[in-house]
A and B are shown apart, each in its own frame.
Chain A
Amino acid sequence: MLLANHPLLGKTIPGDTASRLNIRAADDTARFSLRIDPAAVQSAGTAFGAPLPTRIGGMVEAGGRTALQLGPDEWMLMAPVAEGDGIVDAFSALGETHSLVDVGHREVGILVEGEAASLALRSAIAFDIDAMPVGTGCRTIFDKAQIVLIREDKTRFRIEVWRSFADHVWGLLQAVSREIALGI
């Protein structure tokens, strides 16, 4: 990835105490946008090296790889950076018609963790975060910026945001962390 231009590299918002809220930039990762006929989802899973979910919002994590279904024929795939080229090779050998686009440089990840994580996200996301099941993800709007939100655990979320919007999202998270720390 073009780390020299990474807007959030190494940044952290410590929050009030480590247990209540901790926000930090996620480690670099390989990312792909996959479009394929849902009928071919099994062979796509074989190419990816981990099964793909079959329900919009569903997510499967296996062997360090993550697949999230965003639309009827759209998946977001994530894997360790070093495995990105291998995934491209595997898909180019796939017989099914598909589109696999490397979007690794387009986005940055932000980890929002702690007891107050859903409270922090609620400040800029319109749907009921607490009702979001663990192990699911979806595209949505954070303030005015489009993001993908993943609930990794009850108190741990991951935001995937286009790098040009990352500063905006980060600034709002900084402000809300301050509000939570002050108890307002």
Chain B
Amino acid sequence: MLLIRCPYCEAERPEVEFTYAGEAHIARPTNPSVLSDDEWRDFLFIRSNPRGRHFERWRHMHGCGRFFNAVRDTVTDKFAMTYRAGAPRPSDEEIALAATSAATRAKDARP
């Protein structure tokens, strides 16, 4: 069972409580009518789909109900960190730091 840390509940919760919600940090254009058809298509459908580190949205659907963001490796399925919706994309240093503290926290995780 994969455990995911919800940044609102501040707890490691089982994967079955969550739903995936696509790539994160995709801002809706402020004035869609000035966009070309190609630009609008890119906004709607074109995603980075990386092999490796991915910034993505999740929802704690069967918990607190909140959407939040996560940094996950698409190869290993390992979550480096999660953070609240609206927070900026974390830097490499912040991600490395979060991964270390997650390892120590895992020892005294509360459900």
Which residues does A use to contact B, with CB under 8 Å? 56-57, 70-72, 74, 126-129, 131-133, 138-141, 146
Given A56-B9, A127-B111, A132-B111, answer yes or no on A72-B66 (Cβ-Cβ < 8 Å).
Answer: yes
CB nearest neighbor in B for A127: B111
Which residues does B use to contact A, with CB under 8 Å? 1, 8-11, 13-17, 62-66, 109-111
Name the prevailing secondary structure of the A interface residues.
mixed
B66 neighbours in A (Cβ, 8 Å): 71-72
Q: Which of A72, A126, A132, A139 contacts B14, CB < 8 Å?
A: A126
A133 neighbours in B (Cβ, 8 Å): 110
Decide: B111 and A70 in contact? CB cutoff 8 A: no
Decide: B110 and A71 in contact? CB cutoff 8 A: no
A129 neighbours in B (Cβ, 8 Å): 111
Decide: A128 and B111 in contact? CB cutoff 8 A: yes
B62 neighbours in A (Cβ, 8 Å): 139-141, 146
Given contacts A131-B111, A140-B13, A141-B17, 14 further A-B contacts (CB under 8 A): A56-B8, A56-B10, A57-B9, A57-B11, A70-B64, A71-B63, A71-B64, A72-B8, A126-B1, A126-B16, A127-B14, A132-B111, A139-B63, A141-B16
CB nearest neighbor in A for B9: A56
A127 to B62, CA, bound (A): 13
